[in-house]
């Protein structure tokens, strides 16, 4: 292996987060929970957050039972005061934040384009876009060089459907925001990347695709012919969080079964 100068470094990067502090939203279940447990197994201290601390407490407890450090903190990401309190709690406990995962997301289904209500629109944008924008802004002053921000997006952001009209539009804006943030924060040594997820078997997926027949039909649309398990996000997220991706920023990584 060679370094930037062309000299041999002999350095093989490890997918480890020892001594790093990771703040993960939407971490009570689904993909967020999988990343929280995966990051903790890789050595990170974890701030486990969702709308209620009670829902996050079992995840934090599981991390502590593995010998890790974790706290559970409530935060509705659409409320900027709660976002500020979340970052304050993370800094009070661990001193700084090395990794932010903007994972919390919702995908309410409108009956039609004409049937999109103001409530559905505002709620979706608040969780899927407004929260990540503010949390990024709040975390940056608390993030040392080498920090990593990961936004969790969706294939709907690049191939939208009427079924996901507002959700896909919000996630497309999140992709765009991530690229702007990568430009601004790169000189600070902070990287910002986006995982563009395909179907994962979580509560939100089961709600949108409720029957085994529908799930099988969905799986058939993917070259890998299956729906991913939540744990299958860990490798990509850990790669982006760790120094293994130290020269990657502003990227949209597809994690979608092809």
Q: Where along the sequence are the contacts to ligand NAP (CB under 6 A)?
A: 25-32, 50-52, 55, 75-78, 103-107, 127, 152, 154, 197, 199-200, 202-205
In DSSP notation, 60-93 reads HHHHHHTT--EEEEE--TT-HHHHHHHHHHHHHH
Minimum CB distance to ligand NAP smaller for 50 or for 242:
50
Instruction: Report the candidate in 28, 26, 21 with the shortest Cα–Cα distance to residue 46.
Output: 21
Neighbouring C-beta atoms of residue 197, cutoff 10 Å: 27
Minimum CB distance to ligand NAP smaller for 179 or for 204:
204
- Selecting among 94, 167, 177, 205, the annotated active-site residue is 167
Question: Residue 217 Cβ, how far from ligand NAP at the closest point, in Å?
Answer: 15
Minimum CB distance to ligand NAP smaller for 52 or for 81:
52
Question: Residue 30 Cβ, how far from ligand NAP at the closest point, in Å?
Answer: 2
Is 167 in the active site? Answer: yes
Question: Residue 122 Cβ, how far from ligand NAP at the closest point, in Å?
Answer: 12
Cite the DSSP H helix spans in the chain. Answer: 30-41, 53-65, 80-94, 118-125, 131-139, 165-185, 203-208, 212-219, 234-241
- Collapse the DSSP code of 4 into the 3-class scheme (helix H, G, I; strand E, B; otherwise coil) and give the result: coil
Minimum CB distance to ligand NAP smaller for 16 or for 123:
123
Question: Residue 35 Cβ, how far from ligand NAP at the closest point, in Å?
Answer: 9
Active site residue ranges: 167
């Amino acid at each position: 292996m060679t370094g930037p100068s062309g000299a041999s470094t002999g350095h093989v990067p490890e997918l480890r987060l020892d001594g790093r502090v990771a703040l993960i939203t939407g971490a009570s279940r689904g993909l967020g929970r999988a990343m929280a447990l995966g990051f903790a197994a890789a050595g990170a201290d974890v701030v486990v957050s969702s709308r209620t601390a009670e829902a996050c407490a079992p995840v934090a407890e599981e991390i502590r039972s593995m010998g890790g450090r974790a706290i559970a903190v409530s935060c509705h990401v659409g409320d900027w005061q709660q976002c500020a309190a979340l970052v304050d709690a993370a800094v009070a406990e661990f001193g700084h934040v090395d990794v932010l995962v903007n994972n919390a997301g919702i995908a309410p289904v409108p009956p039609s384009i004409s049937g999109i209500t103001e409530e559905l629109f505002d709620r979706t944008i608040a969780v899927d876009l407004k929260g990540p924008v503010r949390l990024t802004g709040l975390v940056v002053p608390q993030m040392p060089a080498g920090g990593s921000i990961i936004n969790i997006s969706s294939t709907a952001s690049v191939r939208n459907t009427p079924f996901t009209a507002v959700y896909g539009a919000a996630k497309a804006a999140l992709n765009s925001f991530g690229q702007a943030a990568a430009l601004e924060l790169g000189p600070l040594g902070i990287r910002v990347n986006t995982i563009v997820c395909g179907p994962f078997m979580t509560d939100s997926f089961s709600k949108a695709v409720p029957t085994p027949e529908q799930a099988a039909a969905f799986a058939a649309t993917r070259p890998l012919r299956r729906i991913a398990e939540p744990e299958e996000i860990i490798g990509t997220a850990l790669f982006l969080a760790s120094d293994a991706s130290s020269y990657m920023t502003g990227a949209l990584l597809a994690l979608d079964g092809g």
